[in-house]
Structure 1
Amino acid sequence: MANIFAWLDRSAARVAPIATPFQVIVRKEVGDYIRSWRFYIMLALILLTFVGALYISLGNIKQAVTNFSDPDHTFVYLKLLTSTDNTLPAFHVLMSFLGPLLGISLGFDAINAERNNGTLVRLVAQPLYRDNLLLAKFYAALLVVGVLFLSLVLSMVGGGMLLTGVRPEGAEWLRILAFVMLNIVYVGFWLSLSICLSVLFRHAATSALTAIGIWLFFTVFYQIIVNMVMGALVPDPRFLSEAGAISFNNMFLSLLRVAPSQMYSDAATTLLMPSVRSLGPLTMEQMAGAIPAPLSFRESLMIVWPQVTGLIAATMACFALSYFLFMRREIRS
């Protein structure tokens, strides 16, 4: 009998997977995130925003789908995310403001809190690479954000099916899932930036205020600065030729798209509104003979690909800077 139990113990040891340090930190961080008050507060704000935007969209859904002058009127579930009566902005517009706050709240004390609590020395003393520590914290937060947005979208689709009785089409599913991925990438940029600031600054309050200051600059003040610069370069664009006006508008839009919120807004609008054919000015020759019809998902994805890759590149740059600063940081007890 003793030999049987010993054999069972050896078999269980062979079958049971051994968790790597990366997996252990991810599980620990996910548990900390879903039990923290700041996550509950941001979850409540996003849920209220989603429910309010969905309630207004459901109230206007009949008018939206019967407006035959709109080429997107057949996409019922996309209208749930875009239609509004101007009392509350659409959900993707509100997410351009709440998404950065969610990313900042999850990452502003990722490293400096460990340092101030004295647990960072114990972590790096374990058989764990420093890049795995940063990657585990980033991955755990993105995992929580991804589950959150996927749950919201599935709830929206389920509620829409119960109220309207219309099944979503394949193109709508692709666009909605692409919108979810876009939100994860957008929040991931601000999460990576806040983690970088948590490595750079010793105190969590300093990193949080710096991240919020950067968000306010790109959200409020950056567009004002761009308008002032372009106004100084070209006082009156009305006197420009057609080619000059197009160059002026392209330069203006290129400067605006330095802001992450502008890249997110352009990509979200194109994915949720299939009739959007371009994100820049078009000449009369390009518009001649064009029929107002929705684009395919692949064509819309090609339009927004520069914005998506820009957000991903900015996220990777912030994470690389975090790794560089963290590797050079001296950690003492």
Structure 2
Amino acid sequence: MKGIINALDNNASVRDEKQQNPFWILVRKEVAGHIRSWRFIILLVLVVLTFWGATAVAMNNIKDTVAKVKDLESLFLYLKILTTTEGTLPPFHVFLNFLGPLLGISLGFDAINSEQQNGTLTRIMAQPIYRDNLLLSKFVSSLLLVGTLLLALSLLMVGGGMLLTGVMIEVEELIRILCFMLLCTVYVGFWLGLSILLSIVFKQASTSALTAIGIWLFFTVFYQIVVNMVVTMLTSGSGELTQMQVMHLNEIILNILRLAPSQLYADATTTLLMPSVRSLGPVTMEQMAGAIPSPLSIRDSLLIVWPQLTGLLAATLLCFAFSYYLFMRREIRT
């Protein structure tokens, strides 16, 4: 009788494995490969140490503030943990503006070309697996790891704040923090999609990694310098500008700078984590007249950051669409 039961259990397990979607099998394989790799472990340690250093500095300042302030509901305590700094270390969202691209690039720069160089791509495609499942599993598995990491860090931050201050988190603060983590995941996803695209374009993993880092350095360091130089050259002979012309020029410069993913991320995180921010562009004194100096609701803040979020999503989908097109047309048997 036991032998029959064991045989039935074995048959059921074999049947379940056959009925499993190949896509989720590939996702589990990629997640397991990332978790066991030294590259991801080093990046994980770096992100966790950065988070611990930035939040520790902020919590030391906030403990003194909590002891002095009586109206804690309007303090946005847990948002200040992510934005407060002493000057020795920048806040955590500024750190993520720097570490997020490195995290995305490191997880995707050798996604396809390393498989082809090792000869495993041909063996994988010999199985009953679609090409789009393989490409999508590379992207989804890395995003799952990044999202899980950011969610765990946010929950640790909330729990540590409750233990140190004894103040319960407000619902609006929790929603803002979760939206911030979602935005960070999308930001990392853009650089992940770009690095996967470069891993398809270039045959060598080192070439794709250097190209991705070069693009990141251009948008992070040199893009603003180039834009300011071009604008200065164009406006040097126009004489003195009026107030409206200066505002119009600043608005044009800001829109050009928003072509950089780092600028979109900075604008969105500033609005989500600082409810007092009411506008992301230049504002005249006439527009400020009559404005009530109160924090915005979460709905109004989301309406302000919606263009930035859709811009990052569109850029990510565009990179993945190019990756899909090139990978579906590639000859993988050679």
Query: Shorter-chain TM-score category?
Result: over 0.9
RMSD between aligned residues: 2.2
Alpha-carbon distance between aligned partners in 2 of 1:176 and 1:218, rounded to the nearest angstrom: 26
Alpha-carbon distance between aligned partners in 2 of 1:132 and 1:56, rounded to the nearest angstrom: 44
Q: Is the 8 A contact 1:72 1:273 kept in 2?
A: no
Alpha-carbon deviation of 1:18? 2.6
Q: Is the 8 A contact 1:72 1:275 kept in 2?
A: no
Matched, 1:169 2:166: no
Match of 2:327 in 1: 326
In structure 2, the residue corresponding to 1:294 is in which secondary structure? coil
Q: Is the 8 A contact 2:55 2:81 kept in 1?
A: yes
| Structure-1-length-normalised TM-score | 0.94
Counterpart residue identity of residue 38, structure 2:
W
Q: Is the 8 A contact 1:278 1:303 kept in 2?
A: yes
- Map 1:54-203 → 2, pairs under 5 A: 54-62=55-63, 74-203=75-204
Match of 2:270 in 1: 269
Counterpart residue identity of residue 244, structure 2:
A
Alpha-carbon distance between aligned partners in 2 of 1:267 and 1:238, rounded to the nearest angstrom: 35
| Structure-2-length-normalised TM-score | 0.94
Alpha-carbon deviation of 1:7? 5.6
Alpha-carbon deviation of 1:242? 2.7
Match of 1:309 in 2: 310
Match of 2:252 in 1: 251
Comparing 197-206 and 16-25, the one that deviates more? 16-25
Match of 1:37 in 2: 38
Alpha-carbon deviation of 1:60? 1.1
Alpha-carbon deviation of 1:155? 0.4
Alpha-carbon distance between aligned partners in 1 of 2:76 and 2:126, rounded to the nearest angstrom: 55
Q: Deviations over 1:233-281 (max 9, x none)?
A: 2238993223212211110100111110010011001000001000001
5+ long unaligned stretches in structure 1: none
Comparing 117-126 and 105-114, the one that deviates more? 117-126
Alpha-carbon distance between aligned partners in 2 of 1:204 and 1:16, rounded to the nearest angstrom: 33
Alpha-carbon deviation of 1:215? 0.3
Matched residues, percent identical? 62
Q: 1:11 to 1:228 in 2, by over 3 A?
A: closer
Query: How many pairs were matched up?
Result: 331
Alpha-carbon distance between aligned partners in 2 of 1:41 and 1:7, rounded to the nearest angstrom: 45
5+ long unaligned stretches in structure 2: none
Counterpart residue identity of residue 44, structure 1:
V
Q: Is the 8 A contact 1:64 1:73 kept in 2?
A: no
Alpha-carbon distance between aligned partners in 2 of 1:86 and 1:22, rounded to the nearest angstrom: 46
Match of 2:22 in 1: 21
Q: Deviations over 1:6-37 (max 9, x none)?
A: 66666666677832111111000000101111
